[in-house]
Structure 1
Amino acid sequence: MHALRAALFLCIPIGLVRVAESNDFASHIAHVLCVGLAGICAALAALGIGYTWLAGEFVRRFFARACAQPSSFPGVTLVKPLCGDEWNLEHNLVSFFEQDYPGPVQFVFGVHDPADVALATVERLRAQYPHAQVSVVIDSRLYGPNRKIGNLVNMLEHAEHDVLCFADSDVTVERSYLRHVVGALQGPGVGLVTCVYRGLCAPGWWPRFSAAATNYHFLPGVVTGLAIGRARPCFGQTIAMERTMLERIGGLTQFAHHLAEDHAIGDAVRRTGATVAIPPFTVRHACVETSFAKFVAHELRWSRTIRAVDRAGHLGSVLMHPIPFAMLAVLMSEGAAWAWVLAGIALVARLALKWRSDNAVQQTHRGIWLLPMWDALSFGIYVASFFSSRVEWRGFRFEVDEEGLLSPAHEESAQ
């Protein structure tokens, strides 16, 4: 229903253009509206082009910095919540076992269900790395609708080291990951370290769209927000802090009702006066949406999460869509030459951002010809995110209130 409302909203310009082609009084009104909307869309496209060029430069500067190196190598507990046999799970976990880190590392894996098939992967890794310190926690206790928080709270009872690193099971890291995270955590005034991420595609068509949304909308948006002092992010893919900081903010149980528990944890750390450090490297997040429906559901959840925790930032992200606004200007101006020129400039700007982003993270240039289609889909999802506060997460549906808190969704009754 909400997707239908968004589609109808996007069809309004087409309807106005068709009305404007008639010869009655309504055509004059429609023409005036078309001219006005064409100007608004052109202005948003122009602002988006400016944003896009700036974002490319900010991305280049961010990843040109050097990562901090640790002055010592304290013991680290890697806390890994698991749920099911995810794509690439064993490869993801192996990347954490293969760290170039001389300090002691404890691995704590947690599941809610003793029959969880992810446990078989952990047992294979135990055999493959017999000298690794591995603990497995099977505990069904929940403290709210956020099941991940419940899993983390249960695992923390078994953590032995003072540096705690929470990392999702669908994340792959480089061998230098722990060095760079610990180095950043040892910086003056740092209370928490988190990492930006880029997409790692599962086989198939739709994972490529999901990765493109991550790499060419999310990543430049975060880096730009950091550069202008607007963004205050914290990403659940990686959160590292010392045990004393976790105790200082009151533990994790308090976040069991949050949709964006990572954002709430970052805010709690900042309220202590400490900073959240984001080192200049990426981890890789698995993009596994194998159908259009799954892709839309995932992207809507992400967009509505941003809307719940940062409404101004979500509204401002309209500037990430210069190509759709330029094409709307073409439509509303009935194909005016100036609108086509604007659309061409918008396309060049987006291609340049993709090229610079790929270079910054040393990623192969692929799928350039798909960029306009990626942008069109992302714009449609952005518009749809305003029409509902409902999200789907791990097979469960929730409503999100204005504070970003979760409650079970009640299905609409049939009319």
Structure 2
Amino acid sequence: MSPTWIAILHGLGIALAFAAAGYACVALWAILRVPRASAARIDYRALRPVTVLKPLHGAEPRLYENLRSFCVQNHPSYQLVFGVRDPDDPAIAVVERLRAEFPGRDIALVIDPRVYGANLKVSNLLNMLAHASHDWLVLADADISVPADYLARVTAPLADAGVGIVTCLYHGVPGPSFWSRLGRLFIDDWFAPSVRLSHAFGSTRFAFGSTICLRRDALVAIGGLEALSNTLADDFWLGELTRRAGLRTVLSDVVVGTDVAESQLKALWDHEVRWLRTIRSLAPWGFAMTFVCFTTPLLVLGLCLAPGAVTLALVLLGGGARVLLHFLQRRPRDDAFAWHDVLLIPLRDALLLMEWAIALAGWQVKWRGQVLHARGDGSAP
């Protein structure tokens, strides 16, 4: 190999190591700067009545526990509306169990197969919205678990007329399988830090299905849920349309839990590639540069291309930041915590890099039996 090519590869190696180490350090900074959840007292007398919309599809492994966490909120006045499209959906039995357990709770069950567009979840929400009693609304996915003060805390910012939506980040709640634990690291070690980093630099261009709170007037201002009937990332577009209407997005200090139930590599791969292609459809140029987030393989590649003291120092710096970030994202209250999950970091980062490359190669995603095409305009016909 000619000296010129050797110099080029050496420079590339240092650049890759520098980029990976730099991202890991900045992501660590973003996590360290997040204030701990506020212990400020809540004036429960000032809270407005709230309707929670929970679209359901099938009896997921921890569905009862997750839905029950919404039944034991300390909010003084709220309604729960659960919705399914299929009258034989096994989730109905879970809702009926909760109705029997909490006879004093305002719980509605909507069974309605009507479809309004390509996004069946939005169709479900549209069918449910007609049964909502209150003007403050909370939309939350079925696989979300929340603390008892969740509703009071996440809805409080809606009192400001300039707020469009309030949304929540989430941490992974793994099942017993190895692949589920690996999937938890996708959320905790990659996705959440990337959002924190974006937010630290002033961006609020996000909204998550884990929680979206908004007032009915804000929903009407963007054309209602009908405006989302053919979108793939309906949660993102609900936030984006309110931002375009001049309203602010608030990232709550509440972090909720989301189940990671995949027990096989294929299921995990398909789920994460769908997520990544959806992200790519929303920010294609930014997504193309996210390879710098996959710390371990880039550091190893950089050291192989440019062995030496400078690259080694970058590897130690980036690797140390990556490990520290992993432990900072663990929660003492998390029963599934295992210190040896740190050993999964190289596999997790390498798998993410491969999924990122596959996500770049196409637009097709599979979701609940549907084959959809993620495109930059958000449509999914």
| Same fold per superposition (TM over 0.5) | yes
**Deviations 1:121-174, CA, capped at 9 Å, x for gaps:** 001001100101111111111111111000000000110011111111000011
For 1:248, the aligned partner's letter is: A
Name which one, 1 or 2, has greater alpha-carbon Rg. 1
| Aligned position for 1:311 | 284
SS at structure 1 position matched to 2:54: strand
| Aligned position for 1:405 | 379
1:168 lines up with 2:141 in the alignment:
yes
Aligned-residue sequence identity (percent) comes to 34
1:353 lines up with 2:353 in the alignment:
no
1:189 lines up with 2:189 in the alignment:
no
Describe how 1:96-245 pairs up with structure 2 within 5 A: 96-102=70-76, 104-187=77-160, 189-245=162-218
**1:34, 1:387 → 2: CA distance?**
30
Would you say the 8 A contact 1:390–1:399 is kept in 2? Answer: yes
Would you say the 8 A contact 2:24–2:321 is kept in 1? Answer: yes
**1:276, 1:235 → 2: CA distance?**
11
| Aligned position for 2:354 | 380
Describe how 1:17-166 pairs up with structure 2 within 5 A: 28=1, 33=5, 35-64=7-36, 66=38, 69=42, 72-102=46-76, 104-166=77-139
How much has 1:330 moved relative to structure 2?
2.9
**1:195, 1:87 → 2: CA distance?**
22
**2:246, 2:327 → 1: CA distance?**
38
| Aligned position for 1:3 | none
**Deviations 1:237-262, CA, capped at 9 Å, x for gaps:** 11111111111111011211111111
SS at structure 1 position matched to 2:139: strand
Tell me which of 274, 283, 305 is aligned to 2:247. Answer: 274
For 1:350, the aligned partner's letter is: R
**1:231, 1:313 → 2: CA distance?**
15
SS at structure 2 position matched to 1:101: coil
For 1:213, the aligned partner's letter is: F
Bigger CA drift: 62-71 or 158-167?
62-71
Unaligned stretches of 5+ in structure 2?
none
**1:346, 1:34 → 2: CA distance?**
24
**1:246, 1:207 → 2: CA distance?**
35
Bigger CA drift: 376-385 or 104-113?
376-385
Unaligned stretches of 5+ in structure 1?
1-27, 408-415
**2:293, 2:13 → 1: CA distance?**
13
1:247 lines up with 2:225 in the alignment:
no
Would you say the 8 A contact 1:45–1:323 is kept in 2? Answer: no
**2:18, 2:230 → 1: CA distance?**
40
How much has 1:235 moved relative to structure 2?
0.6
For 2:321, the aligned partner's letter is: A
Supply the RMSD in Å over aligned alpha carbons: 2.0
How much has 1:192 moved relative to structure 2?
0.9
Q: If the length of structure 1 is used for normalisation, what is the TM-score? A: 0.85
Describe how 1:387-398 pairs up with structure 2 within 5 A: 387-398=361-372
Relative to structure 1, the CA distance from residue 80 to residue 65 in structure 2 (aligned partners, 3 Å threshold; closer, same or farther) is closer
SS at structure 1 position matched to 2:239: helix
SS at structure 2 position matched to 1:296: helix
SS at structure 2 position matched to 1:224: helix
**2:380, 2:371 → 1: CA distance?**
9
Q: If the length of structure 2 is used for normalisation, what is the TM-score? A: 0.93
**1:145, 1:99 → 2: CA distance?**
33
**2:358, 2:203 → 1: CA distance?**
24
How much has 1:57 moved relative to structure 2?
2.3
Would you say the 8 A contact 2:13–2:303 is kept in 1? Answer: no
**1:74, 1:120 → 2: CA distance?**
30
Bigger CA drift: 313-322 or 336-345?
336-345
**1:231, 1:183 → 2: CA distance?**
18
**1:216, 1:106 → 2: CA distance?**
34
**2:189, 2:53 → 1: CA distance?**
29
| Aligned position for 1:263 | 236
For 2:68, the aligned partner's letter is: V
Bigger CA drift: 336-345 or 314-323?
336-345
Would you say the 8 A contact 1:347–1:372 is kept in 2? Answer: no
**2:262, 2:10 → 1: CA distance?**
35
Tell me which of 300, 304, 316 is aligned to 1:331. Answer: 304
| Aligned position for 1:371 | 345
For 2:184, the aligned partner's letter is: A
**Deviations 1:249-277, CA, capped at 9 Å, x for gaps:** 11011211111111111011111211011
**Deviations 1:198-237, CA, capped at 9 Å, x for gaps:** 1111220111111101001000100110111245111111
**1:204, 1:260 → 2: CA distance?**
28
**1:232, 1:72 → 2: CA distance?**
29
Tell me which of 245, 260, 275 is aligned to 1:302. Answer: 275
**1:240, 1:136 → 2: CA distance?**
20
**1:328, 1:126 → 2: CA distance?**
56
Relative to structure 1, the CA distance from residue 52 to residue 401 in structure 2 (aligned partners, 3 Å threshold; closer, same or farther) is same
Tell me which of 312, 322, 325 is aligned to 2:295. Answer: 322
Relative to structure 1, the CA distance from residue 228 to residue 302 in structure 2 (aligned partners, 3 Å threshold; closer, same or farther) is same
SS at structure 2 position matched to 1:289: coil
